[in-house]
């Protein structure tokens, strides 16, 4: 089924979806998309990094379609309660950030590894058939090959990357031993509305947008020629729904890249954001970037192959970086200016 067919199918029958990390950027956008398709969403979050205002927006939007459960993935009782009566699981709850994981590695074992293991075990006990979970492009580690192909990974370069690699392996074990179905999505630099610019470890796009809106200094780590494959949130929503509903057995118990498959340097990204913001508000005074040392644990270049996702999931991302910024920047201007 293509994406429009999947959306139509979902809208025809109400199911119950559990979204972990629902107060976060990706989780809240997934919840909004499912509520708009007439689905019941159980949102689960401990609010350690997610925002309560995202929950409030979903409660206003969903009315009787959205239920929020505050709990911790590292607490099995919380997880077991959240999985009762669930048809589908979209597992987005995790601690992100490579730099933070280098400073606080034990927190990543607890939140990302134990948390995912608790969720898989609850699935087994509750007889929930399928989970779609967030992995990361960081799993490719020290593999230098481009584009990144799912079966060609290197050694992890950070505790965060290691936690995501272990998540993939745990899901594979539960599939082999207990018959659950999983699909893991390796996200590549996702961006869009609700992405928090205020965290110490905020992603580059919201952090730069806020800095430009307020004429604050902004930093580029390295020479600016480091490149990433930026993926707009609507592409991620498409991928999650395709993975949840696929009837292609060859797609089950597999890992897929979730990206746009376009390489953009940080220097190019800076110019693109600057140009688009000045179109919205020509009065902005935007500082030139300050170049700093490379950060430990960061990879130099990242670009995804989408061949597997296109072939097995019929994934066709609709929004490039430029198109995604056009849609996202008005939201940031309204909420951050």
Name the residues annotated as catalytic: 160
Structure tokens given for 152: 């060609």
Nearest CA among 249, 130, 135, 132 for reference residue 180:
130
- Residue of 224, 260, 220, 211 whose CA lies nearest to 239: 260
Provide φ and ψ at 244, rounded to 5°: -65, -35
Alpha carbon distance 150, 142 (integer Å): 14
DSSP 43-107: EEE--SSS-HHHHHHHHHHHGGGEEEEE--TT-HHHHHHHTTT-SEEEE------HHHHHH-HHH
Cα–Cα dist 334/336, whole Å: 6
Reported as type and span, the H/E element at residue 184 is strand 181-187
Query: DSSP secondary-structure letter at 147?
Result: S
């Amino acid at each position: 089924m293509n994406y429009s067919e999947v959306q139509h199918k979902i809208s025809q029958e109400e199911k119950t979806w559990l979204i972990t990390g629902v107060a976060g950027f990706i989780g809240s956008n997934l919840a909004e998309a499912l509520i708009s398709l007439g689905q019941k969403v159980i949102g689960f979050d401990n609010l350690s990094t997610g925002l309560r205002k995202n929950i409030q927006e979903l409660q206003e939007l969903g009315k009787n379609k959205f239920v929020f459960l505050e709990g911790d993935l590292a607490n099995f009782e919380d997880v077991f309660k959240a999985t009762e009566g669930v048809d589908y699981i979209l597992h987005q709850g995790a601690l992100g950030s490579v730099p933070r994981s280098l400073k606080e590695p034990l927190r990543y074992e607890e939140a990302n590894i134990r948390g995912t293991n608790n969720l898989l075990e609850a699935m087994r006990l509750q007889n929930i058939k399928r989970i779609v979970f967030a992995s990361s492009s960081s799993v490719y580690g020290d593999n230098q090959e481009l584009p990144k192909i799912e079966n060609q990974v290197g050694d992890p370069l950070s505790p965060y990357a290691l936690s995501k690699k272990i998540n993939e392996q745990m899901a594979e074990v539960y599939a082999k031993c207990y018959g659950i179905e999983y699909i893991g999505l390796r996200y590549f630099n996702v961006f869009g509305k609700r992405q928090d610019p205020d965290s110490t470890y905020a992603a580059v796009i919201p952090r730069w947008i806020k800095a430009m809106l307020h004429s604050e200094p902004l930093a580029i780590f390295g020479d600016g020629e480091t490149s990433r494959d930026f993926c707009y949130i609507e592409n991620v929503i498409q991928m999650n729904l395709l993975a949840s509903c696929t009837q292609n057995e060859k797609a089950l118990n597999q890992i897929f890249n979730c990206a746009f498959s376009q390489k953009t340097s940080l220097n190019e990204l800076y110019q693109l954001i600057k140009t688009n913001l000045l179109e919205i508000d020509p009065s902005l005074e935007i500082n030139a970037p300050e170049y700093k040392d490379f950060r430990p644990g960061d990879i130099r270049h990242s670009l995804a192959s989408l061949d597997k996702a296109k072939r097995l999931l019929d994934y066709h991302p609709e929004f490039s970086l430029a198109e995604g910024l056009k849609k996202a920047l008005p939201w940031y201007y309204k909420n951050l200016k």
